Every structure is written in C-alpha cells, then in structure tokens.
Amino acid sequence: MTTTIKQLQQGLAEKQFSSVEITQDYLNKINQHNTDINCFISVTDELALQQAVVADIALAKGTGSVLTGIPIAHKDIFCTDGVKTSCASKMLDNFIAPYNATVIEKFNRSGTVMLGKTNMDEFAMGSSNENSYYGSVANPWDFSRVPGGSSGGSAAAVAARLAPGATGTDTGGSIRQPAALCGITGIKPTYGRVSRYGIVAFGSSLEQAGPFAHTAEDCALLLQSMSGFDPRDSTSVDQPVPNFSDNLNNDIAGLKIGLPKEFFADGLNPDVAKVIESAIAEFRKLGAEIVDISLPNMGLSIPVYYVVAPAECSSNLSRMDGVRFGHQCENPVDLEDLYKRSRSEGFGEEVKRRIMIGTYALSAGYYDAYYLKAQQLRRLIKQDYVKAFEQVDVILCPTTPEIAFKRGEKIGDPVSMYLQDIYTLSLNLAGLPGMSIPAGFSQSMPVGLQLIGNYFEESRILNAAHKFQQATDWHLQVPEVK
C-alpha cells in the first residue's frame, strides 16, 4: 500500500504515530530489502532516529513545519556534514564533507529526517545505475531490470516504499527517467530554481536537484523546501518561489497541451506509445486542449548534450586528483604517477569515457568544432521550446522510449544507453522544468509520462500532474517486493 507524505503529515499532526515510529518503520524496511535492491549506499539509522526525536519535540510544541518528522532519503551526490558523500565512486569512498549542501540544509531546517544516502550512477553519469562502485540497483518491479539512472537508488527506494520521498539530481534525465522506470513521480525544476551548492558537480550548466515521491502533491511539498535563491550559487535565480501546493487543484479545462511530433516518432516502443495515448485521452477528458507541435531541432540534443556535459565534467572532476581528499594511489613515485594512478584507480569506465570525450572536445583545434558549435546548437534547441510555449501551456511526451531494460543489457553499448535519455536531455539543455508521472504499464512494468513546463512554471505542470493523478491510480500501484 502507498503511504504518501501528505498522509504521514496528517498522521503526525493528529498524533496517530510519532516521527520516531515511522522512521523506525522505514529503517526496518530498508534493513529488510536493501540487500536485494541495493538502493542505499549509507543508511544513517542513528542520525535518523536522533532527528526524529528532535522532530517529535518540535511537533509536540507546535513549532514544526509541514515536513517536520517526515523521513526521506538523499542521493549520495549531496554533501552531508559528517556523513560520507561518495557519489557512488571509489574516488570519494572515503570522503566526508565538512559542510551540508544547501538542499540538505534546507531540509534540515524543515525538520525532515534523513534515512540515508542512496545509490546512483558514479558521479551521476549513467541511465541504469549500473555505473556504481557500490554495485547496481534492482528495479523493485522486476529485480532483473534496471531502475534507471543516475538517481536510480532514490527512485528504487521510493518505489519499493523504503522511503516516502527522496532527492535526486537531473543533468540529462536523471530524475525523470528513473521515476518513469520505477513508476513514481519526479520533478526537475527550472535551472536556477534550486541551489547547486554542495552537489558534487558533473554538468554545471545542466543539472538541477529535485524530488521523487508517489504523488505530484508530495513533490510540490518537497520541491517547496528545496527551492529558492542561494547567495552561494551564482546560477541560482533570485526570484520569488510560488507556493507549489496552491494551484494543484486548479481546473485544467482549456489547458493547452502540446504533443511534439519528434517525440512520438521512430524509436518509441509501440506499447509505450499506447500507454501514452490513453494518458492523453485522460487529459482530454479533463478538458485539456491537445495540440500537435513541432520541435524541429530535437535530433540535435543527444550530440549537443554529449559534447557539453562531458566538457564540463572533464573540468569539474579535475579536483579529484588524489592530493587533498578522495582516493590516493599507494606509494606514488612522482606527481604525475600520483595523478595518473589515483585517477585511473578511482574513476569507473563511464566516468573515464566522459572525461576523455570532454577533454577532447575542449582541446585546442577542436574547441570551435565541438564545444562552441554545441553551444550554438543549444540555443537552437532552446528557441524551439520558446516558440512552442508561445502556442501551448504544457508539453507532453513519453519520458523514455521504452520500459526498464534488463540489467547488463546495454552496459556494453554506451550509445544505446545514451538513447534512453532522448526525450529528457533537451530540457536540461534549455533549462526547462519537467516531470515524470506514472501513466500505465507495459509488460507489467511502469511507463512514465513527461510533462514539460515553461520557465519557472513548475506550478503548472504540478497542477496538470495532480489532476491526472486524481483521475487515475497508476501512481498508487505497488510493486510486490519480497
């Protein structure tokens, strides 16, 4: 059965249970299932119970916030003061940050309880959670399948009901794609909405943090707590954050929903397409106006993304040099040896591949042809969306071209792995908000539907998603986890 954050919140308010009780309950479930699912890298039982005790005191005094006492899990990419932040890399296996990411700090202030740090693709690079130093993660709907990535641990934990909500980061689809494959709800906000301070950087101009939960309503609550300008992140945007919960129940009759033909073309699995079509019919029933649109430059997003993201990562990961923190090779003979061996030993294959691609793309003589060109094309992709939003309020498409694939199936074929993000990448290139919600099933595996909003219009997609979830129960389906 599904217990939402909203329900937990009511139960805590009505004193049906305490935060310590529900925290213990989730910790027990984690203890029971983590061995199979492997969605947590660190389980912070002691800290969680301490935080729960403090939360219960605040709740008793009436000084809590809406999220006080709610247990959640954090992707192991957010720096947590005193708790290991590994980014699922051998490189950071011994790294304990002396500070909290802004997102963590904000949740701490809200009074949430941290259950632990979740598994992920190493340094957020991957779409299957198979690139983890701590092993791959099982999809709770079918352990032989991947949960998606890179925030696969968070998505699997929520799907398996080991946490009612979790955080993730999304650089090319890393929240939306695992949300889709695990049958839960996840949102990536507009670039600049959430502070990146304390998030171990992969693609700085692309990534945003966002929440996973069972419902759009819960996502609204979690996103509320994460959002806002942060003077420590120059790219966070200094503008007021609306109350995301306020407009959830607005009528969506007359809402103009655009269907980009490029996202319903070749490559989309026909069964997935059918599920999305019935979801579209559902939106029609809710009064939405469905409009065909075109985003002509979407074919560029994969090549553009795989220049920009690796270029940024090649530079961002340079600080992992074995000198001040992280993995250091044994007995280096000189500086070059220290660098070479520490990095060769510390990084996994996919990370090395992207560092190589990015280094190449930024090299003298190639910069103009790759990086500069990619930035120009990136503007074209953005313009496509700007034009589309002159016509429609929201854009709808599948989140992924197929259901969760088998573990091991694509790991040797990076290009086919990269294609998993074909519908999600362009939002990161454009900086737009997007979310994935459960839309039905194919082969007993969940299918996700993506809603794309205009800049800073998270409220609008949350509203559309909530109305859809009021009318359907796909999001309430629970995998049988033994």
Catalytic residues: 75, 150, 174
Q: Nearest to residue 326, comparing CAs of 337, 315, 317, 335? A: 317
Q: Nearest to residue 139, comparing CAs of 182, 168, 179, 173? A: 182
3-state secondary structure of 83: strand
Distances from the Cα of 271 to the Cα of 183, 267, 443, angstroms: 16, 12, 9
- Residue 320 touching another protein (CB under 8 A): yes
Letters for 282-311 (x = contact with another protein by CB under 8 A, - = none) are -----------------------------x
Looking at 27, 155, 201, 429, which residue binds another protein (CB under 8 A)? 201
Which residues have C-beta within 8 Å of that of residue 418, sequence separation ≥ 6?
A: 127, 302, 306
Looking at 4, 19, 42, 85, which residue binds another protein (CB under 8 A)? 85
- Residue 79 touching another protein (CB under 8 A): yes
- Residue 376 touching another protein (CB under 8 A): no
Looking at 339, 386, 455, 470, which residue binds another protein (CB under 8 A)? 339
Cα–Cα distance measured from residue 464 to residue 470, given in angstroms and rounded to the nearest whole number: 10
- Residue 364 touching another protein (CB under 8 A): yes
- Residue 315 touching another protein (CB under 8 A): yes
Cα–Cα distance measured from residue 409 to residue 106, given in angstroms and rounded to the nearest whole number: 39
Phi/psi of residue 464, nearest 5 degrees: -60, -40
Question: Is the peptide bond prior to 436 cis by the omega test (within 30 degrees of 0)?
Answer: no
Q: Which residues ranging from 91 to 110 are in contact with another protein (CB under 8 A)?
A: 92, 95, 97-99, 101
Looking at 55, 199, 216, 435, which residue binds another protein (CB under 8 A)? 199
Q: How many CB atoms lie within 10 A of CB 394?
A: 23
Looking at 60, 281, 323, 471, which residue binds another protein (CB under 8 A)? 323
Amino acid residing at 255: L
Size of residue set near another protein by CB under 8 A: 44
Beta carbon of residue 154, minimum distance to another protein (angstroms, whole number): 17
- Residue 362 touching another protein (CB under 8 A): yes
Number of helices (H) and strands (E), helices first, in the chain?
15, 11
Beta carbon of residue 188, minimum distance to another protein (angstroms, whole number): 17
- Residue 369 touching another protein (CB under 8 A): no
Amino acid residing at 287: G
Are 111 and 411 in contact, with CB atoms under 8 Å apart? no
Cα–Cα distance measured from residue 302 to residue 315, given in angstroms and rounded to the nearest whole number: 20
Which residues have C-beta within 8 Å of that of residue 22, sequence separation ≥ 6?
A: 8, 11, 12, 52, 69, 71
Beta carbon of residue 167, minimum distance to another protein (angstroms, whole number): 14
3-state secondary structure of 89: coil
For another protein, which is the closer residue by CB, 31 or 344? 344
For another protein, which is the closer residue by CB, 205 or 247? 205
Q: Which residue has the tokens 């130093």?
A: 133
Single out the segment in contact with another protein by CB under 8 A; choices: 11-19, 41-49, 249-257, 358-366. 358-366
Beta carbon of residue 97, minimum distance to another protein (angstroms, whole number): 7
Letters for 148-187 (x = contact with another protein by CB under 8 A, - = none) are ----------------------------------------
Beta carbon of residue 238, minimum distance to another protein (angstroms, whole number): 11
Looking at 142, 277, 289, 321, which residue binds another protein (CB under 8 A)? 321
Which residues have C-beta within 8 Å of that of residue 324, sequence separation ≥ 6?
A: none
Are 121 and 88 in contact, with CB atoms under 8 Å apart? yes
Query: Which residues form the interface with another protein (CB under 8 A)?
Result: 78-79, 85, 87, 92, 95, 97-99, 101, 196-201, 204-205, 231-235, 311-312, 314-315, 317-321, 323-325, 335-336, 339, 359, 362-364, 367, 371
